[in-house]
Amino acid sequence: MTVTSVDVIDVRFPTSRSLDGSDAMNPDPDYSAAYVVLHTDDGGEGHGFTFTIGRGNDICCAAIETLSEHVIGTDVDGPAALADLYKRLTHDSQIRWLGPEKGVMHLAAAALVNAAWDLAARRAGLPLWKYLTTLTPEEIVACVDWRYLSDALTPEEALALLREGENGKAERLAEIEQDGYPAYTTSPGWLGYSDEKVVRLAREAVADGYRQIKLKVGADLEDDRRRFAAARAAVGPDIRIAVDANQRWDVDQAVEWTKALAEFDPWWIEEPTSPDDVLGHAAIRARLAPIKVATGEHVQNRIMFKQLLQAGSIDFLQMDAARVAGVNENLAILLLAKKFDIPVCPHAGGVGLCELVCHLSMFDYVSVSATMEDRVIEYVDHLHEHFLAPTVVKGGRYQAPTEPGFSAEMKRESLLQYAFPNGPEWRSN
């Protein structure tokens, strides 16, 4: 049950051709994955990836190759082994210089950590979210790298939170399996879409059962006001409409621009400024209240999330499955969010991020937060067809994954077709 080899594949989808995914900072993304398969000596496989938007995906692949030396020869069966692996991947003393715990090397660690958890969950014959709920509070706490966290949360406090979470766990697990977890959709709101398309997709979203949608903003204020007004008119006052500036603004501009959208009742303003700017977010939030502030998809690690919570910078924490170092670091982030009582509303979309992150939110509900109040998982309706166990959303709710593993596995034909630069999709264009 030892990992004997690691395959790394550069997969890119030409999403820039249709402006799917276009926003104020990312005008033409090609949704991509630095994709990894762990092979074990008994024929097992673990699949994982990190998400990028095109150029540089090859560098993430190279980083995964370099980090693979920490995986080969390892037995990744069980939480203790997974914790060891995570720490080896993020604390290689020479590689740490390139971060620490951020950027390309951290994205690469995410791919490998997630693949290792996929393997462990498959071994257990459970979908990852359910596998996580079988771990004891002690095992979960031991999965976390506690370095740099103790001024906000100690292992002892985390243990107490998780023990508290044992109450009602069976009921919540049954509820997840029955009803799933609420979603919101960003599909109507890409910046490259026409007003007509936004309105049509917004109406369809409501008809499909969503209670929240999201619009991209930040390129042109008059465009934003016009699109927001149209979307609000289309869905009425009871549907939450979040807006997302994708880091476009400085502090003052974020406040002014968002206030100019206030009449259309934004539910949150997402990424108003740099993801690095803890104090900037805190200032924006203080000046914009009661409009809420959300961020997280680009927040590099648990240390930054800790500070966003300590400084009162956010109303919603937007965990990403593959930006921080995979499942282990996200366990720390879920525990921090619980301590500070801030709802986790994960970032998803891209390619495969929906498939991954819903596992973490479902575990969060069963074992940590024990509530779905104001919690929603982002959903974007593209590229799911490439996965063996794609996300299923019904009536505006993520359905609980049932296949063993982390739902990360892509179809072999997709990997071949979209391999960059030599797959047929890229050779012919």
Site string for a second copy, 116-155 (x = CB under 8 A): -------------------------------xxxxx----
Nearest of 150, 141, 152 to residue 337 by alpha carbon: 152
From residue 41, give the alpha-carbon distance in Å to each of 71, 260, 296: 13, 60, 37
- Span 187-206, contacts to a second copy by CB under 8 A: none
Q: Considering beta carbons, is residue 102 or 130 the nearer one to a second copy?
A: 102
Are 287 and 252 in contact by the 8 Å Cβ rule? The answer is: no
Least CB distance to a second copy at residue 44 (A): 28
**Which neighbouring-strand residues pair with 7?**
37
Residues 6+ apart with CB under 8 A from 245: 24, 216, 217, 218, 254, 257, 269, 270, 271, 272, 273
Give the one residue of 11, 60, 215, 325 binding a second copy; rule: CB under 8 A: 60
Q: Does residue 5 belong to the site contacting a second copy (CB under 8 A)?
A: no
Tokens, residue 127: 């979908």
Q: How far is the CB of 145 from a second copy (least distance, A)?
A: 11
Strands (E), 202-348: 212-216, 240-244, 266-270, 292-295, 316-317
| Residue 381 beta carbon to a second copy: minimum distance, rounded to whole angstroms | 21
Q: Binding residue for a second copy (CB under 8 A) from 92, 139, 175, 179?
A: 92
CB 79 within 8 A of CB 135: yes
Figure out which of the listed residues 14, 78, 100, 312 binds a second copy, where binding follows CB under 8 A: 100
- Binding residue for a second copy (CB under 8 A) from 107, 158, 370, 383? 107
Helix (H) or strand (E) holding 298: none
What are the distances in angstroms from CA 181 to CA 25, 172, 306, 362, 383? 30, 11, 25, 7, 21
Q: d(Cα 88, Cα 100) in Å, to the nearest integer?
A: 13
Instruction: State yes or no: residue 28 binds a second copy (CB under 8 A).
Output: yes
Catalytic residues: 216, 347
Q: Which is nearer to a second copy, 78 or 99 (CB)?
A: 99
Using the rule CB under 8 A, which residue among 62, 81, 230, 392 binds a second copy?
62
Per CB under 8 A, 101 contacts a second copy: yes
Q: How far apart are CA 366 and CA 346, in angstroms?
A: 16
Amino acid (one-letter) located at 191: L
The 275-314 site mask, x for binding a second copy (CB under 8 A), equals xxxxxx--x--------------x-xx-xx-xx--xx---
Q: Which residues inside 6-25 make contact with a second copy, applying CB under 8 A?
A: 25
Task: Rule CB under 8 A: say whether 97 interacts with a second copy.
Answer: yes
| Chain residues in the site for a second copy (CB under 8 A) | 25-30, 52-56, 58-60, 62-63, 66, 92-107, 147-151, 247, 250-253, 273-280, 283, 298, 300-301, 303-304, 306-307, 310-311
